[in-house]
Amino acid sequence: MPSILVQYDGEKVKTRKFSGRFRGVTWDRKGTCLTLVGDGGRILRIEGDREIRHDSSTKHNLRAVSINPANGTVLVVGNVGTIITVTSDGSFAKASASTFENLRAVRWNTKGTAALIVGNNGALMKYTERRLDIIDGGRANLRGISWRKESDEALVTSNCFAEEFIPSPNLFAFDAKANALKPLSEGRSDLIGVDWNPNGKLALVVGYDIVWHNGAIGRFDDAGLSPIKFENDHVYPVAVRWDPTGHVAAIVTSTAQLHSGEGRIILWDGEKFKEIYRSNEFFFSHIAWAPEGFKLAAIASTQARAFDS
């Protein structure tokens, strides 16, 4: 089950294949190196043509990675409650998550003072370098996180049904000061990816309707959540990120099953969509922009599925 890293600089698309499945990707603070995480506890650092493999001391599948913008600490999460930190000097440490749920996403806030971690069955934690707080209020599998710039607020996306088809809100607001989660939206779409624009005025939310298998892209602002029209039949958006200037958002797609959906990278400038990459073999799970310049990286694999991103 190979993976592929797709990079884009505004002009050219470059691809690079790897053996095994990688699921998460992030840039370092300078935008010069990439860190990939994946199955079997794999952590791979890419510096140009060099590949540096790190021993994570776990065989659990790793799903997501985020780098602290203040001090460069790498936070990695994965299955069976796995939480790993990698400091700037390369030392590894494991945190006790007090859960055996699969953890799906992690995101540092823009100040680097706290990170959110989310996962299956409503698992939600606020991580700081001194403590790990368990947050109640989630019901279904929580999928994505985005902090509003220079604030203590974050959006959290969720599947729309919990166990035994119990309806669940699919979008929440998290208040870091109160450690409280508040539902914002319900519906029949699993919302997966979310990202605040750097201006803090709006966020994009992506997912798909689980009944009709139509893609969903929405705009969230002070007026609430509203849909953005696009060609969405059997399109499965799973992640979204704004570029550092906030002018372009990149959206990646996956598939629910083979021959139903494609792996695509789509750019949105606020008015129109532009596809820059498409594959019938590789399906995306994560995407990241370098903190400066126009450099995009997205990770895909043959085994990625929209419900398991």
What are the beta bridge partners of residue 267? 250, 274
Task: Tell the residue number behind the tokens 């989660």, with chain if given.
Answer: 181
Tell me the domain boundaries of the chain. Answer: 3-304
Report d(CA 67, CA 106) in Å as an integer: 10
* pLDDT tens track for 14-37: 999 999 999 999 999 999 999 999
Buried b (16+ CB within 10 A) or exposed e, 245-260: ebebbbbbbbbbeeee
| Whole-prediction pTM | 0.97
DSSP states along 135-174: -----S-EEEEEEPTTSSEEEEEE-SB-GGG-B--SEEEE
- Other C-beta atoms lying within 10 Å of the C-beta of residue 79: 20
For 42, counting Cβ atoms within 10 Å of its Cβ (0-12 exposed, 13-18 middle, 19+ buried), the class is buried
- Other C-beta atoms lying within 10 Å of the C-beta of residue 228: 15
* pLDDT tens track for 159-213: 999 987 899 999 999 999 999 999 999 999 999 999 999 999 999 999 999 999 9
Q: What is the CATH number of domain 3-304?
A: 2.130.10.10
